[in-house]
Amino acid sequence: MRVFKFGGASVKDANAVKNVLKVLEETGYSNLVIVVSAMGKTTNALEKIVTSYLKKDSDLDSLLDHIKIYHQEIVLQLFDNEQHSVFKDVEQLFVDLDTTLKRNKSTRYDYIYDQIVSYGELLASTILSRYLNYKGYQNKWLDARDVIKTDNAYRDAEIDWEVTKQSILKGVNKKGLSVTQGFIGSDENNFTTTLGREGSDYTAGIFAYCLNADSVSIWKDVPGVLNADPRVFDTTQLLSHISYEEAIELAFYGASVIHPKTIQPLQRKEIPLYVKSFLHPQNQGTSVKKGQPLDPHLPCYIVKKNQILLSLSSLDFSFIVEDNISEIFSLFHQYHIKVDLIQNSAISFSVCLDDKFNNFESLLSKLKAKFRVTYNTDVSLFTIRHFTNEAITTLEKEKDILLKQITRETYQMVTRY
């Protein structure tokens, strides 16, 4: 079995959806699970709906209309036959979304978020699955929520591996073609959960692990994993071969081409991961496998924007030692704030933080009760894996550097903006 993941960019409009067929034509499509994420920027648009809904803003209906029209136009361009059942199916999903909004009694942001944002994947997978059938690529639509079982940590749910594995083995037709959603699952009470932004890659990893798949391919708008994000750096080169360890490091430091959680389940079963271009499916792309040296061996640049640099010192100039540090870290954990980098001296402790869930303000008031706090928001964290002196000199040019750190293979700096 193989698992393919098509992300937002690969299904962003009707032509992109048609191109998925081309990919399948070139690579074959038997014994295959396709994991698809929301079309284009739909997830961002649905996030706006959540905000508008909770604030009772007047723009809610127009935001909903935008998403609806966007999907309807894609369907209209894909299906010549306006009697096709897909029109009703898509309409029904919007009715369901509307009902979800109207019936909801909860005020919990994270819970509501998952119930609403998951519609992006439900729409994309419905349209893709119906289109493939329409064009003769017989497939079964699978509701990922029936098989991906999680805890109820909405927006960042953890997989219940035992139940998920049993359900996937039971629910997936190993001989045919299945189309399912990335990013979403469900908890014990069958409420929808999500696995964290960009989590569809992870879903592909979960299916592959549970099915003992031969490989996972994630289809991207880039030739593969490059030594830097082409949106940020002018010159980039394709990495043809990398190890699981390298991929985890790159993803952890913020190379957003692979979701960091994707690699672990694959590495446990030594399932190869291919990152390939959906525009040139015949090209090799990047292969991620056990122990293979980075090839070509190049410095790899990663930038994470919108980070926070926080420095804490004790109010009485006493040392910041293990017990304070463990207390500080338990607060980060409690507020779902991710620590990218740590540096400490006798009386001060600095961390670069990723506040994905916007909890920093609440955390600050806790910290201020115990520590002297200074911080910069909107900082960037630059990482160079396999740095060279030349790479560092070039990167540092004209940057306002707040902190630097170098270990054997990794150079990092935090800069203003």
β-pairing, 273-277 with 286-289? antiparallel
Q: Are 35 and 185 in contact (CB under 8 A)?
A: no
317: phi > 0 → left, psi -120 to 50 → alpha, else beta; which? left
Burial 184-207 (b: 16+ CB within 10 A, else e): bbbbeeeebbbbbbbbbbbbbbbb
Single residue of 32, 129, 139, 182 touching ligand ASP by CB under 6 A: 182
Tell me: is residue 121 an annotated ligand-binding position: yes
Segment interacting with ligand ADP (CB under 6 A) among 85-93, 112-120, 226-234, 407-415: 226-234
Residue 233 annotated in ligand binding:
no
Cβ proximity to ligand ADP: between 105 and 231 the closer is 231
Chain positions 192 to 211 lying near Mg ion, rule: CB under 5 A, are 198
Q: Does 350 bind ligand ASP (CB under 6 A)?
A: no
d(CA 384, CA 347): 28
CB 134 within 8 A of CB 82: no
Asked if omega into 296 is within 30° of 0 (cis), the reply is yes
DSSP label at residue 345: -
Q: If contact means CB under 5 to 8 A according to the sort of partner, which of ligand ADP, Mg ion, ligand ASP, none does residue 205 touch?
A: none
Tell whether 8 is in a known binding site: yes
Question: What is the rounded distance in angstroms from the CA atom of residue 183 to the CA atom of residue 193?
Answer: 9
Q: Which is nearer to ligand ASP, 182 or 224 (CB)?
A: 182
Establish if 157 lies at the interface with ligand ASP (CB under 6 A). no
CB-nearer residue toward ligand ASP: 43 or 267: 43
Cα 299 from Cα 228, distance rounded (Å)? 9
Q: Six-digit token pair at 38?
A: 């929301």
Task: Give which of ligand ADP, Mg ion, ligand ASP, none residue 221 binds (C-beta under 5 to 8 Å, depending on kind).
Answer: ligand ADP
Pick from Mg ion, ligand ASP, ligand ADP, none: which does 182 bind, CB < 5 to 8 A by kind?
ligand ASP
List the structure tokens of 84: 């096709």
120 binds, among ligand ASP, ligand ADP, Mg ion, none (CB under 5 to 8 A by kind): ligand ASP
β-pairing, 348-354 vs 300-314, is antiparallel
Instruction: Pick one of 7, 185, 199, 260: the residue that binds Mg ion (CB under 5 A).
Output: 7
- Residue 231 contacts ligand ADP per CB under 6 A: yes
**CA 404, CA 383: separation in Å to the nearest integer?**
10
Smallest distance, Å, CB 302 to ligand ADP?
7
Element (H, E) at 162: helix 161-171
- Is residue 284 at the binding interface for ligand ADP, with CB under 6 A as the rule? no
Cβ-closest position to ligand ADP: 7
108 assigned binding-site residue: no
123 versus 225: smaller Cβ distance to ligand ADP: 225
**CA 80, 85, 91, 95: dihedral to nearest 10 degrees?**
180
Residues 6 or more apart from 410 whose CB is under 8 A from it? 249, 253, 383, 384, 385, 387
Question: Which residue's CB is nearer to ligand ASP, number 10 or number 236?
Answer: 10
Q: Was 360 annotated as part of a binding site? A: no
Buried-exposed string 59-72: b where 16+ CB fall within 10 A, e elsewhere: ebeebbeebbebbe
Query: How far apart are CB 266 and ligand ASP at their closest, in Å?
Result: 16
Closest to ligand ASP by CB, 144 or 271 = 144
Residue recorded with tokens 């629910």: 171
Tell me which stretch binds ligand ASP (CB under 6 A): 195-203, 229-237, 289-297, 375-383: 195-203
Residue 190's Cβ-side half-sphere holds a number of Cα atoms within 13 Å equal to: 2
Among 257, 273, 312, 353, binds ligand ADP (CB under 6 A): 257
For tokens 């909860």, name the residue: 106
Candidate list 47, 91, 221, 245; residue touching ligand ADP; CB under 6 A: 221
Q: Which of 197, 241, 399, 404 is close enough to bind ligand ASP by CB under 6 A?
A: 197
Among 2, 145, 155, 220, binds ligand ADP (CB under 6 A): 220
Provide, rounded to whole angstroms, the least separation between the CB of residue 193 and ligand ASP: 13
Direct distance between the N- and C-terminal alpha carbons of the chain, in angstroms, rounded to an integer:
45
Instruction: Show the binding pattern over residues 122-161: x = contacts Mg ion (CB under 5 A), - = does not.
Output: ----------------------------------------
- For ligand ADP, the closer of residues 221 and 396 by Cβ is 221
> Would you tell me which residues interact with ligand ASP (CB under 6 A)?
7-8, 37-38, 43, 120, 182-183, 197-200
